[in-house]
Amino acid sequence: MQNPSAPAIVLASSSPYRRGLLDRFLSNYETLSPDVDESNNFGLEPGELASHLARQKAEAVAINARDSLIIGADQLAVLDNKVLGKPGDHQKAVEQLLAASGHVVTFLTAVCILDPIARARYEHTDVTKVRFREFDRRLADAYLHHDKPYDCAGSFKLEGAGFVLFESVQAEDPTALIGLPMIWVADMLLRLGYISPQNRGSTPVYLRRCRCASMTPEVRNRSRSSASGAVKCSSLPLLSANAIDWACRNNRDSPNFFACRLASASP
């Protein structure tokens, strides 16, 4: 599913939960832990803060991985417009859960993708509302000893037994509570060409032309230029001008053509 011809992907996070989500459909990516001050020094509202931190994390990692697609993310739990941090220990987790009992906690999961091909930034924030059932310390203690979610905003793990604390969840993307809104992430990776619906066993096809190179008569007869400056073969999908630019920068073996592993189905 992952396009082997696309640039590398780097997750700007050390979170095992986000890695678990990417592992569901990506076979090759790196993780780098960003060194970012997560304090709210600018007095930002929760939604702005989540976006700001996701962007800061992506940009911090991009300094050492400029030719890779970077995925940065941050999640905030908000109760009565107050951000609930990661508890860190059992007592703080108990306090968070008891405060949430019988109330709605809003989870803001922000993502920032930095694309090395277009040198563009794409951002999204998922909003999920969790209504907690009413419970006392006995259930809070029992749950915390079971899941030990002391590194999780809101003091629960959806992928664990956190559902025992919930009355309802209002969400467009259920994976967002785990740490990444994967519906949006997958959509962006599809749009940018990092996920390819190619057939197994399809082979590289040398038919794309860098804009800096001359086209051979054979390729000229098989292809036609599009308005975007890309070259399109009648039997394969159009390759974007951005992808051609990337190929020009990265194709070291041949000055005229680069391999693009694509399905041979007609568009």
Q: Which positions are catalytic?
A: 74
Structure tokens at 179: 């740490």
Phi and psi at residue 24, to the nearest 5°: -65, -25
Angle, vertex CA 6, rays to CA 203 and CA 73, nearest 5 = 145
C-beta of residue 117 within 8 angstroms of C-beta of residue 189: no
- Could you give the CA distance from residue 62 to residue 34 in angstroms, rounded to a whole number? 9
Which residues have a Cβ under 8 Å from the Cβ of 218 and sit 6 or more positions away? Answer: none
Inter-residue long-range contacts of 35-42, CB under 8 Å, 24+ positions, other chains counted: 35/60, 36/60, 38/74, 40/83
C-alpha distances out from residue 83 to 19, 54, 57, 247, Å: 24, 16, 19, 44
**CB count in 10 Å sphere of residue 13:** 24
Residue ranges with strand state E in the chain: 9-12, 30-31, 69-79, 82-84, 104-115, 120-132, 166-170, 205-209, 223-225, 231-233, 257-260
Rg (CA), the chain: 23
- Could you give the CA distance from residue 144 to residue 241 in angstroms, rounded to a whole number? 52
